[in-house]
Amino acid sequence: MAYETLIVEIEDYIALIRLNRPDALNALNSKLLSELAVALGEADKDDSVRCIVITGSEKAFAAGADIKEMSEKSFVEMFGEDFFARESDAIMRTRKPIIAAVSGYALGGGCELAMACDFIIASDTAKFGQPEINLGVVAGIGGTQRLTRFVGKSKSMDMHLTGRFMDAAEAERSGLVSRVVPAKDLLTEAKKAAAKIAEKSMLTSMAVKECVNRSYETTLREGILFERRVFHALFATEDQKEGMAAFLEKRQPQFRDR
Ligand code: CO8
């Protein structure tokens, strides 16, 4: 499918979704977010996709929600259309693993989009921030909740209250990103990570996502019970038999997503 605000390439079981509004530093408008929701839905259904990478440009992953589109809206419009709710929930409905490959600015909704992915690989030029306070609003796609869980209350409050940006080194130190790589290697490294994931059983990858994400939604005791039940349930799959047999036979497993 052709998109106006995205470039989507599928190769070697990886769907690379590139945000593409270069004139606006990939600001997230309704068009882009609804196209992203469609692209994620398509990738989730497509058997030739086993991992998704979302990226932007060298200068900006995304500089936030589109301020021009929002600035004149009324409360009645925002509430009435439940602004960005359906579009931004799409990422949480995606069952296949999603990596955010972030270079340059990931601000406001851009930072929130990256955090909604399963993990973030950042280039050494990445800058994260929740500067909504400078616009007289708060984050609206999960920033106050997710950033706090990633980096703790003190740093999250600092970021949201001062609107300052965090560089890649600080983001790695504080657990916001899983790794930092040189800017020129960002896509290669993200694709390498995606290729590793693509080798695994898709059933198991989806189970991992459900288990890790459950830790945000429930108590420790319930989360551990959920994980144990998923662990037990995977013994009903051929991929568990194959994975364990391959280990014992000292060979690579051939997973078939069954
Ligand atoms: N929205 C719209 N246009 C933008 C945005 C944006 N968020 N960010 C940059 N642009 C545009 C600029 O207006 C400019 O366009 P033009 O050339 O037509 O004037 C172009 O991109 C280039 O930007 P700059 O000239 O400003 O580039 P600089 O290199 O000087 O600065 C910055 C880069 C620092 C990233 C700067 O552009 C900036 O501060 N951008 C805004 C960052 C921001 O405040 N983001 C938060 C937005 S609010 C938000 O994300 C809320 C999300 C919640 C949604 C809730 C739904 C329920």
The answer to whether residue 243 is catalytic is no
Residue 132 falls in the annotated catalytic set: yes
Query: Which of 177, 198, 219 is the last residue in one of the domains?
Result: 198
Residue 237: the pLDDT is 98
Region 186-192 average pLDDT:
98
157 and 143 housed in the same domain: yes
Which one of 5, 21, 23, 25 would you pick to mutate in the ligand 1 pocket, going by the greatest count of ligand atoms within 8 A of its CB? 25
pLDDT at 164: 98
Residue 86 within any structural domain of the chain? yes
Strand partners, 10: 15
Tokens of 123: 């280039």
Same domain, 178 and 223: no
d(CA 2, ligand 1 centre) in Å: 25
Phi-psi region for residue 28, left (φ > 0), alpha (ψ -120 to 50) or beta? Answer: beta
Task: Find out whether 27 and 67 touch, Cβ atoms under 8 Å.
Answer: yes
Q: How many domains does the chain have?
A: 2
Q: Report CA(104)–ligand 1 centroid distance (Å).
A: 13
CATH of the domain at 10: 3.90.226.10
Q: Give a yes or no: residue 11 inside a domain.
A: yes
**Do 18 and 96 belong to one domain?**
yes
Give the mean pLDDT of 222-244: 98
- Which pair of structure tokens corresponds to residue 57? 């440009």
For residue 239, pLDDT beyond 90: yes
Question: Is the shortest distance between the CB of 67 and ligand 1 below 6 Å?
Answer: yes
Residue 123 shares a structural domain with residue 207: no
pLDDT attached to residue 1: 78
Residues 147 and 193 in one domain: yes
Range of the domain at 114: 6-198
Report yes or no on 82 lying in a domain: yes
For residue 131 and ligand 1, the question of a CB distance below 6 A is answered with yes
Q: Could you tell me if 115 and 234 lie in one domain?
A: no
Q: Is the beta carbon of 65 within 6 A of some atom in ligand 1?
A: yes
Q: What is the mean pLDDT of residues 193-209?
A: 97
Confidence category of residue 255, pLDDT binned at 50, 70, 90: very high
* Residue 109 is among the residues annotated as catalytic for this protein: yes
Is 42 an annotated catalytic residue?
no
Question: Span 18-45, mean pLDDT?
Answer: 97
Domain's final residue, options 163, 182, 198: 198
Does residue 105 fall inside a structural domain? yes
Q: Is 108 in the pocket of ligand 1 (CB under 6 A)?
A: yes
Same domain, 117 and 177: yes
Please say which residue of 198, 223, 240 terminates a domain: 198
Give yes or no: residues 169 and 206 share one domain. no
ipTM of predicted assembly, 2 dp: 0.98
Q: Considering the chain, what is the average pLDDT of its residues?
A: 97
The one-letter amino acid code at 43 reads A
Answer whether residue 254 is part of any domain: no
Are residues 150 and 38 both part of a single domain? Answer: yes
Same domain assignment for residues 43 and 144: yes
- 88 and 133 in one domain? yes
pLDDT in tens, 124-182: 999 999 999 999 999 999 999 999 999 999 999 999 999 999 999 999 999 999 999 99
68 contact partners, CB below 8 Å, separation of at least 6: 24, 27
> Would you state the pLDDT for residue 43?
97
pLDDT digits (tens, 9 = 90+) for 57-105: 999 999 999 999 999 999 999 999 999 998 889 999 999 999 999 999 9
Which of 20, 29, 36, 67 gets mutated to test ligand 1 (max ligand atoms within 8 A of its CB)?
A: 67
What is the residue-wise DSSP string for the chain? ---SSEEEEEETTEEEEEE--GGGTT-B-HHHHHHHHHHHHHHHH-TT-SEEEEE--SSEEE-SB-HHHHTT--HHHHHHTTTTHHHHHHHHH--S-EEEEE-SEEETHHHHHHHHSSEEEEETT-EEE-GGGGGT----SSHHHHHHHHH-HHHHHHHHHH--EEEHHHHHHTTSSSEEE-GGGHHHHHHHHHHHHHTS-HHHHHHHHHHHHHTTTS-HHHHHHHHHHHHHHGGGSHHHHHHHHHHHTTS-------
The answer to whether position 1 is within a domain reads: no
In a domain, 258, yes or no: no
Distance, CA of 205 to CA of 199 (rounded, Å) = 10
Res 88: pLDDT: 87
CATH number of the domain that residue 229 is part of: 1.10.12.10
109 and 194 belong to one structural domain: yes
| Any domain includes 152 | yes
